[in-house]
Amino acid sequence: MFESVLIANRGEIAVRVIRTARRLGLRTIAVYSDADRNAKHVALADEAWHIGPPEVAESYLRAEVILDVAKQARASAIHPGYGFLSENAGFADQCAAAGVVFVGPPADSIRAMGLKDAAKRLMQEANVPVVPGYHGNDQDDAILSAAADDIGYPVLIKAVAGGGGKGMRKVDDATGFKDALDSARREAASAFGDDRVLVEKFVGRPRHIEIQVFADGHGNAVHLFERDCSLQRRHQKVIEEAPAPGMPEAMRTAMGDAAVAAAKAVGYQGAGTVEFIADASEGLREDGFFFMEMNTRLQVEHPVTEFITGVDLVEWQLRVASGEPLPLTQDDLAIDGHAMEVRLYAEDPDNSFLPSTGRLHALEFPAGTATVRIDSGVEQGDEVSRFYDPMIAKIIAHGADRAEAIANLSEALQQTVVAGVKSNLGYLSTVLGNGHFRAGEIDTAFLETHSRDLEASISQDEAEALAAVAWFACRGDGPGGSAEGQMHVSPWQDRSGWQLGASRASTLHLTVNGQERRFKVCSSGPDFTATMDKDDASVTAGFCDVVAEGQIMHARLGSQSLKARLVRSGSGLLVIIEGRQFEVAPTDLLLSDLEGADGGGLLRAPMSGKLQSLFVSPGDQVSRGDRLAILEAMKMEHTLSADMDGVVDQVNSASGEQVREGDILVVLQPVGEET
């Protein structure tokens, strides 16, 4: 085993590698950008080196800078994590030339599997089944369009150098092909520096099942069984599990053998994942799966494999990279129980899952146990930056079977608190509780197909949140018994309700998640009721038996119990109920009246990012739903559309500019009005 390792990555994977490396007695070396100066992985490492500004192209992707750090720090090896330089064959070559061990496969293996079109041709030669499609070098628009016509719609456009859903677009008919192709190319060029694409048949009722493989430099290769990664949104994995639900043993053997054959075909060494698409329209079967790609690195979802096999995959990576043989043979490996992982993201499920940036005012996880594991690269007080992936943590649970794994994971989510940024915490809990999911009836379209069932009951949650805030704002004996948690706005802090006597009533004007709300609170002794006006209707919540524990409120709402976490943020509150965050603040009525007078038509940036394209100019007439701009943020493109029929009055930004969340990009006026 070598003496030291530099981790050329950040976030939870850097933390993950550091922990195993230190357990093995290696000196750990971290690198960090300006944005990561106080990051968790920097604090955990034995030493840390600054490598540049926040932008990845000027820091984590600068191979020459990282290699210079490795030289100065006397690093024996470089572990690239996943993403960034992990599948960069040129970087692997540079490591070899510099005399530092690259903890990954040989550069030639990365090249062989790095381009999807060439990889699929190679797999066909190795008798590994592939999806029908066009994998040619001619990238002319007409050639690609004709190929799609020949394959038959729906098709998938996929970046040749892609991964993680970037540069991938599903196209249902020929009319949408050109726009999807242009968008896929832009995203691929931005993410990978390569805008080439391939076109494939879209498989009906697909399951995304991948096989973890491992090979050493002594001719040994094994697979560590499968992971089901079918729960995806926008081709990004949301929930992963191992083993795959409903997997026949014959299919498991066939897929495992195919994956090992794929690894051997390219002289592979180290950890890799061979990804397959399975046609589940008639159930899983051994002749119904097709090779998609090979990820020549460790995967984000590797902990579920570690749980069911008892293997530390990072330790295996380090041992194989140091020249040791694989610790186990295929016959030594077996599946123990079931494991499941959710990806906790800083994103807003109530706003098309757009990424959410800001400070983590509260972040709490359950303690790690034999059945629950938390992999996170951030801590309470850290900033979720627009420069990097919005993952907060991976929460992983194990059980004797799938049902027990779901139960353990659900309990872990109930004990998790995120405040300060929006998160998908509540959404994940809803998915885990869905009957179809629990029955294993999954495919890659599951989240879209069941989107209505998975939408949380906003009105009920909002009523509970507002009732909790009413209690908190109006009672002098609020959580903690001090003014620290209360909003410092004088009307809120009046405890009399402007009335004399035991029964008190008041009217509060609040802004909840950007929307104005008004509700009345009546209190008598320890009990109170809150009536909220919403959409010309009233929702009344009656609370009693309220108990405060620090910043957590427990109350009974009728026959139901309520638990709310209350976190102060500026002049307002963050109220977290069942994983969903509500930003609540007193409404500035004068400002509200002024904003309501503009007639609408303001296209605001939903998040900070780069304005990739603008499609309108002043004087243009647009219809509701027309595409106005494309914003690139956190490595993904987001289309911004008109919310009304109108005429473009103002365009306040230009293509290529960086914009901040809330910036007004385009102003529309209704047709016929003066501009």
Find, among 319, 305, 295, 267, the residue nearest to 163 by Cα: 295
Domains in the chain with CATH codes: 4-103 (3.40.50.20), 137-201 (3.30.1490.20), 206-336 (3.30.470.20), 338-454 (3.30.470.20), 458-589 (3.30.700.40), 598-669 (2.40.50.100)
Tens of pLDDT, residue by residue over 321-332, are: 999 999 999 999
Distance CA 415, CA 368 (A): 12
pLDDT at site 532: 64
pLDDT at site 543: 53
SS (H, E, C) 262-289: HHHHCCCCEEEEEEEEEECCCCCCCCCE
Distance CA 342, CA 454 (A): 15
pTM, rounded to two decimals: 0.78
pLDDT at site 494: 42
Distances (CA, A) of 341 to 165, 232, 443, 445, 580: 19, 13, 16, 18, 20
Question: Which residues of the chain are modeled with pLDDT < 70?
Answer: 164, 456-506, 508, 519, 521, 523-562, 570-571, 586-600, 634-636, 672-675
Q: Taking CA 300 as the corner, what is the angle to CA 253 and CA 160, rounded to the nearest 5 degrees? A: 80
pLDDT at site 72: 98
Catalytic residues: 297
595 Cβ neighbours under 8 A, 6+ residues apart:
none
pLDDT at site 466: 58
What tokens does 243 get?
A: 């083993």
How many whole angstroms from its chain centre is CA 609?
17
pLDDT at site 607: 74
Tens of pLDDT, residue by residue over 654-664, are: 888 888 777 88
What tokens does 66 get?
A: 């990282």
Distance CA 637, CA 234 (A): 11
13 Cβ neighbours under 8 A, 6+ residues apart:
81, 82, 83, 298, 300, 377
Find, among 106, 103, 10, the residue nearest to 61 by Cα: 10
Residue 558 parent element (H or E): none
Find, among 104, 99, 73, 74, the residue nearest to 87 by Cα: 104
Find, among 669, 663, 661, the residue nearest to 642 by Cα: 669
Q: Is 561 left (phi over 0), alpha (psi -120 to 50) or beta?
A: beta
Q: What are the start-end ranges of the H helices in 230-366? A: 249-265, 302-309, 313-321
